[in-house]
Amino acid sequence: MKNLPSHNAFVLFEVAGVPTPVSSTAPLPVQAANLPVQAANTPSIASAATALAANANRNGWMIQNLSTNPLYVLLGPGASASVFHAVLKGGTASNDGNGGSLTQMQGVIYQGIITIAGTAPSYVVTEL
């Protein structure tokens, strides 16, 4: 992609040899990569649950606590308040975005089951 001179309100980019106008109303065309991806953004209110099932194609994941209570996370089956790998702190209020989070987006990505537990847990999980 080569940046060409501006023309009026557009900036011209060369995409595959063709000058292409780009602006806030005509953004640069983007084609999604054809990768095996599973995305989830699902709050859960189970008392103990599978946050993510095992997935050999997982490229990254993130869990954030949406509750005011601690959320216990286990990389494996059977999370509980006494069996966990991480405790995510609760937020000041439900769904305030201040709850703790656990993320793995680079390096060797854990691809097994991830379970959670807690008192009235509520969380959001994303898998790439």
pTM of the model: 0.65
Mean pLDDT of the chain: 76
Q: What residue segments make up the domains of the chain, in order of their start?
A: 1-29, 48-127
Looking from the CA of 99 toward its CB, the CA atoms found within 13 Å total: 26
Burial (CB < 10 A; 0-12, 13-18, 19+), residue 79, is buried
Report, as an integer, the average pLDDT of 74-100: 93
> Model confidence over 91-124: pLDDT tens digits?
999 989 899 999 999 999 999 999 999 988 889 8
Residues 36/57, Cβ–Cβ less than 8 Å = yes
Q: Has residue 67 got a pLDDT over 80? A: yes
pLDDT of residue 49: 87
pLDDT of residue 48: 59
DSSP result, 79-119? --SSS-SEEEPP-SSTTSS-S-EEEE-SSS---S-EEEEES
